[in-house]
Structure 1
Amino acid sequence: MNRLRKVSTVGAVAAVTVGIVTGCGDSTTDSGGGAAAGVETVRIGVGVDSAYTPFFLAESEGMFDEAGLDVELVQFAVGGEAVDALSTDAVQLAGTSEVTAIGRLNQNEDLRAILVYQESGDYLKVVLREGLSDVSEAQRIGFVPGLSELSALKLLESESIDPSAVEMISVGPPEAVPLMERGDIDAFVMWEPWPANAAEQGHQIAMSTGDYGWSYVHWLLGNESWIQENEETAQTLAGVLAEAAEMTEQDPQTAAEATEAATSVPVPDTLTAIDEIDFAVRSITEENLPDLQSVADYYVETGKADTALDVESAVLLDWYEGQGE
């Protein structure tokens, strides 16, 4: 029986860990919740926005059950928290952007990315405070550490603006619009629904990241030890996710309704996201390595890592055994 659980931002990893210890002791095999005896419960850490629509659709449509899997989706405020939960075995798999994941490599050397399930240059958008007409007028830029931050820095680079000339302010996604309303930040680069929420308050969506040549991918990650011990389960789950991604593109309305039920993101917002995101499961290939290494270099150049991160060792190239792979 598939389940979905939400975890608050504060103490997210600790909260999940406590819940797992309370619910099923030290084992990842859950005999409760309707799961068949001996079937391992796979907990997948996801965010609370439309970027995770295929997961919510698969859960809603019973696709994991049909494949003989017992899956629990554990929601976090941002994907980075889901990846952090891997280090405590609070979840077995997690989804987030490659930018956020690469930033976690020096904290968990066992992390391995196994596949891409979506990519886009349109989903993340630049928002300017009401009254501003150009990025050059923004003195205070809000960002969420990871993908949002790098996207903001890529924006400044594209506009030939020295990052030291602006104040970069770390924010939680729900804080961005209220901070803009108070005039505490002049701009932010973020995923939906926050740009749409800002636009409803009279602020301006100036562009998407693709407009200045920047796009991202989302990875599904796990610890190498778990992946090796559960290869068949992981491949089966990947196949379900691939089917759900294809269904998301073919039947956006059903996918959006599943996302709303899971996250309260309104259906129109998810329909917009599906139009802006390319949902499809594929392997990570050797051709992707140069772009990934450039992300790792960003962490060194900004002082977030002392030495260059070994990206190649953190991805399982050509892992997904789906159709056409």
Structure 2
Amino acid sequence: MQNTSRPKARPVQRIAGTVFLTAALTMVTACGAGTTDAASGSGGGAGDPHIRVAVGIDAGYAPFFVADADGLWAKHGVDVDLVQFAKGGEGVDALTAGQVQMAGNSDATTIGLLVQNPDLRSLLVYEDSGRYLKVVLGPDVKSPAKIRKMAVVPGLSELAATRFLESKGIEPDSVEFVTADPAEIPALTKKGDVDAYVLWEPWPTKGTELGERILETTGDYGFSYQHWLLSTSPWLKDNKHVAAKVAAALAEAAEKTESDPQAAAQAAKDAAKIPTDQTLKAVKEIDFAVRDFTAKDLEGYESTANFYLDTGKLKALPDVSRAVQRGWLADNTKGSR
């Protein structure tokens, strides 16, 4: 029988991109960059190490919210404060700056940041999906051949859009990519400023409410994404045991997210005001599970790295083999999961 009594989740800090610099500078003074504090948070046991973890504000981060709501951080001996960012890349910026010690982010977006952030380390996969991102066409766009402008968010969205065009035999250079924040894109498409986009939920559903049309999922043209748990090499050097505790808690939370979507939806609503139906939809479309990396994963990551180099977005090839810590999960969480 399921235990329906859940600890009350602590308030989650949210940092928007426009105020990140000010907030980050304040946190440097108050907390010390890249540090791990002992028992300085609000949800761990006496002496539990305290860290800050960057997350996004969508249902794809549901396991983090579940771990917070169900007291799983404390159960595994770590005190975690979740810090919300509007975009995953902003959370990685905070990680590199030492304002958080760990972060969740997509593989594609993180790979695009490796050249300027060589200390980034990816420890494990906690979600996979080829169904959560969808291709959306504007109300008057009858087919992909009519696309002249696509709205993109740098990283995962842009890569998914490029692969979509290639799958339809459309030269990506023939389409103008318009960079925008996710929340702006459905309205831009409705107005006709752009013709299409590829985004994660809830933005495809928001688009349909404006008269736009979901054409297909990324999996329909053979593209999927993953989310990684990230940290940095300087912090990991002295804190592998702390990272392992986070990994163990996240693994249990991912299992709970899959087995009890309603509880996950409530946790996401309480922590990030994410509507219940969005999380329930996400659990159907995303495979939440903590696992190590495979050889097939690495092949996909190398392809993504080459995308950034070949398109001129980066001047050097991202060093995926250094960033991705294959075998880290098995080596560091034995007996704790």
TM-score bracket for this pair, using the shorter chain length: over 0.9
Q: Residues of 2 paired with 1:85 and 1:241: CA distance? A: 20
CA contact (8 A) 1:193 1:265 kept: no
Structure 1 residue runs of 4 or more that deviate by more than 3 Å after TM superposition:
21-28, 30-39, 322-325
Which residue in 1 is equivalent to 2:203?
194
Percent identity reads: 44
Please say which of residues 25-34 and 294-303 is displaced more in the overlay: 25-34
2:53 maps to amino acid: I
1:88 maps to amino acid: A
Match of 1:270 among 276, 279, 282: 279
2:184 maps to amino acid: E
1:134 maps to amino acid: S
Matched, 1:7 2:21: no
SS of corresponding position for 1:10? helix
Which residue in 2 is equivalent to 1:24?
31
2:314 maps to amino acid: A
Matched, 1:220 2:249: no
Which residue in 2 is equivalent to 1:286?
295
Please say which of residues 18-27 and 242-251 is displaced more in the overlay: 18-27
CA contact (8 A) 1:7 1:15 kept: no
Q: How many residues align?
A: 324
Q: Deviations over 1:167-201 (max 9, x none)?
A: 11001011101211221111110000111111111
**CA offset at residue 8 of structure 1?**
0.8
**CA offset at residue 38 of structure 1?**
4.6
Matched, 1:106 2:115: yes
CA contact (8 A) 2:45 2:74 kept: no
Extract unaligned runs of 5+ from structure 2: 1-8
**CA offset at residue 33 of structure 1?**
4.5
CA contact (8 A) 2:124 2:291 kept: yes
SS of corresponding position for 1:292? helix
CA contact (8 A) 2:136 2:198 kept: yes
User: CA 1:312–1:33 in structure 2 vs 1: closer, same or farther (change >3 Å)?
Assistant: closer
Match of 2:192 among 183, 193, 208: 183
For residues 250-261 of structure 1, what are the structure 2 equivalents within 5 Å? 250-261=259-270
For residues 101-180 of structure 1, what are the structure 2 equivalents within 5 Å? 101-180=110-189
1:123 maps to amino acid: Y
**CA offset at residue 37 of structure 1?**
5.9
CA contact (8 A) 1:29 1:38 kept: no
RMSD over aligned Cα atoms: 1.9
Q: Residues of 2 paired with 1:134 and 1:143: CA distance? A: 18
Which residue in 1 is equivalent to 2:3?
none
User: CA 1:76–1:258 in structure 2 vs 1: closer, same or farther (change >3 Å)?
Assistant: same
Which residue in 2 is equivalent to 1:229?
238
Please say which of residues 24-33 and 306-315 is displaced more in the overlay: 24-33
Match of 1:243 among 233, 237, 252: 252
2:273 maps to amino acid: S
1:309 maps to amino acid: P
Extract unaligned runs of 5+ from structure 1: none
**CA offset at residue 32 of structure 1?**
4.6
Which residue in 2 is equivalent to 1:56?
65
TM-score, normalised via structure 2 length: 0.91
CA contact (8 A) 1:56 1:258 kept: yes
